C-alpha cells in the first residue's frame, strides 16, 4: 500500500514539474536590438502577454536624431538619457528601470535555445535550461540570423521605403520616419511584416534597427494574440488606429509633432492621400498653414467618396473657403450642413485649438481642413486593399 502511495506521489510530482517547465505567452519576441525593444514594448502595451528572449546578456540599443520620434521612442531615449554610451551595461541598467514598469512584459536574458517548432497554430521553443516557451505569435527580431536558419524558411526581410505618392502602398503604412541615407521621408507597410505561407510569424529587418518598425511588428502580433486569431486576419485599420493612439507616426510629416493637438487628424488626412505632404530637404512637410487648393484634393476625394464627383461639378472655386469645405464634407458624409456648421463654430477655438476665428468666407488652411475632415467624414473609415487601393 505504501509502495503504491509513493509511486503515485512521484508520478504526481513529476507531472507538476513537467508542467512547470512550460511557460506560455501570447507574443514571443526573439532579439536584443531596437526592433526587439519596440516590438516587445508595443505588444505589451497593446494588451498581449509578451516575452522578449535573447541569448545575449542584454539589449544593444542604438539611437538616432534623424528619425521622426514618437511617444514610445521618446520614452526609450529618455530611459537612455543617463547612459554614457560607452558600455551596454549602463544602458541596460537604465532600460531595465523603464521596462520593469511595463505591464505584460517579461524579459529573459542570456538563455540559449536548441529548437523552434510549430505548436498548434503557434510556436514552441526549447531552451537549453530544460524549459519550453509556447507562444501564439513569434516575432523574429534576431540580428544573428540563427532564428531564420532554425525556422528553415526563405524570405526577404521587410524594408523601409521612401514615401512615393505614385504608389498607393503608403496607405498600408504602420510606421514612418526612419532615416534612409539622411532622408526620413519613409514609410513601412504592414504587409511586409507577414509571410503569406506562415501564419503567426512576424518579421523585422536585422539591418534596419528601428523602435518604430518594432512597434508595428508588436502591434500586429498583439492583435492576433489578444483576439486569438491569425496574423493573416489582422485588421490593418485596427492596427493603424492602435499605433496612432500610441502616438506613432504612420505618415512622415516632419513639421507636425505628435505633441500637436491636431496631429492625429493630420496623420489620417495624410494617410488617405487627400492632403499630401511636400518634400523638402530630405523630409516630408505637411505645411499646416498652407491654403487648400481644390485641384489638390479633387481626385483623391472622388476616389474615397462617390458623391464628391457631383459636388466638384457644381463648385469651381480654385481654393476652398471654410464654408465650402464644410459643405463638401457634409455632402459626401451625408450630414446636416447647418448642424455641423454650428458645432464646428462652437468647437473652433476651445476644442480644435485654432488661433484664427471662425469665418465661413475665409480660405481654409490644411490644418483646419484635416480636423474638420477627421471630425465629420474621416477618410480613414474607407477601406483599402493590400496595395492601398481604395476598396469601397
d(CA 325, CA 225): 42
Phi, psi of 279 (to 5 degrees): -80, 135
What pLDDT does 243 receive?
99
Q: What is the mean pLDDT of the chain?
A: 93
With 0-12 / 13-18 / 19 or more C-beta atoms within 10 angstroms meaning exposed / middle / buried, residue 108 is middle
Residue 376 in contact with residue 329, Cβ under 8 Å? yes
Q: In this predicted model, what pLDDT tens digit does every residue of 222-280 receive, in sequence order?
A: 999 999 999 999 999 999 999 999 999 999 999 999 999 999 999 999 999 999 999 99
Q: In this predicted model, what pLDDT tens digit does every residue of 35-76 receive, in sequence order?
A: 999 999 999 999 999 999 999 999 999 988 899 988 999 999
What pLDDT does 6 receive?
36
- Is 20-252 a CATH 3.50.50.60 domain? yes
| CB atoms inside a 10 Å sphere around CB 132 | 17
Decide the pairing of beta strands 194-195 and 186-189: unpaired
d(CA 263, CA 281): 22
Q: What's the rounded mean pLDDT across residues 346-372?
A: 98
Cell representation of residue 181: 541615407
Position 135 confidence tier, pLDDT thresholds 50, 70, 90 = very high
What residue segments make up the domains of the chain, in order of their start?
20-252, 259-392
Using N-to-C axis directions, what is the helix angle for 366-376 and 322-333, rounded to 10°? 30
Residue 189 in contact with residue 169, Cβ under 8 Å? yes
- Closest CA relative to residue 335, chosen from 299, 362, 370, 372: 372
Percent of the chain with pLDDT over 90: 85
Amino acid at each position: 500500500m505504501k509502495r503504491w502511495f509513493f509511486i503515485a506521489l512521484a508520478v504526481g510530482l513529476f507531472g507538476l514539474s513537467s508542467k512547470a517547465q512550460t511557460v506560455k505567452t501570447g507574443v514571443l519576441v526573439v532579439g536584443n536590438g531596437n526592433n526587439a525593444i519596440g516590438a516587445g514594448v508595443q505588444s505589451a502595451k497593446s494588451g498581449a502577454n509578451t516575452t522578449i528572449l535573447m541569448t545575449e546578456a542584454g539589449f544593444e540599443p542604438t539611437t538616432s536624431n534623424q528619425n521622426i520620434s514618437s511617444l514610445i521612442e521618446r520614452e526609450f531615449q529618455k530611459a537612455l538619457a543617463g547612459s554614457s554610451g560607452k558600455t551596454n551595461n549602463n544602458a541596460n541598467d537604465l532600460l531595465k528601470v523603464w521596462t520593469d514598469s511595463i505591464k505584460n512584459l517579461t524579459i529573459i536574458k542570456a538563455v540559449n535555445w536548441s529548437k523552434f517548432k510549430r505548436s498548434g497554430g503557434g510556436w514552441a521553443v526549447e531552451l537549453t535550461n530544460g524549459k519550453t516557451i509556447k507562444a501564439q505569435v513569434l516575432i523574429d527580431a534576431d540580428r544573428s540570423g540563427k532564428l531564420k536558419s532554425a525556422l528553415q524558411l526563405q524570405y526577404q526581410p521587410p524594408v523601409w521605403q521612401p514615401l512615393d505618392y505614385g504608389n498607393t502602398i503608403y496607405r498600408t503604412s504602420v510606421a514612418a520616419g526612419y532615416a534612409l541615407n539622411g532622408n526620413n521621408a519613409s514609410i513601412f507597410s504592414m504587409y511586409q511584416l507577414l509571410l503569406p505561407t506562415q501564419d503567426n510569424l512576424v518579421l523585422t529587418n536585422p539591418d534596419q534597427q528601428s523602435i518604430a518598425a518594432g512597434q508595428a511588428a508588436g502591434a500586429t502580433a498583439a492583435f492576433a494574440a489578444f483576439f486569438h486569431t491569425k496574423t493573416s486576419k489582422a485588421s490593418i485599420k485596427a492596427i493603424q488606429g492602435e499605433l496612432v493612439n500610441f502616438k506613432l507616426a504612420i505618415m512622415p510629416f516632419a513639421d507636425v509633432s505628435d505633441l500637436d493637438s491636431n496631429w492625429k487628424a493630420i496623420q489620417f488626412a495624410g494617410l488617405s492621400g487627400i492632403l499630401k505632404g511636400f518634400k523638402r530637404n530630405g523630409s516630408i512637410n505637411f505645411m499646416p498653414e498652407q491654403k487648400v487648393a481644390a485641384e489638390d484634393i479633387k481626385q483623391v476625394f472622388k476616389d474615397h467618396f462617390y458623391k464628391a464627383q457631383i459636388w466638384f461639378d457644381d463648385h469651381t472655386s480654385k481654393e476652398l473657403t471654410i464654408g465650402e469645405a464644410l459643405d463638401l464634407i457634409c455632402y459626401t458624409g451625408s450630414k446636416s450642413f447647418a448642424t455641423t456648421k454650428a458645432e464646428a463654430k462652437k468647437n473652433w477655438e476651445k476644442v480644435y485649438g485654432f488661433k484664427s476665428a471662425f469665418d465661413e468666407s475665409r480660405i481654409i488652411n490644411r490644418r483646419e481642413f484635416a480636423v474638420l475632415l477627421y471630425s465629420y467624414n474621416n477618410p480613414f473609415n474607407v477601406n483599402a486593399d493590400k496595395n492601398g487601393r481604395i476598396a469601397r
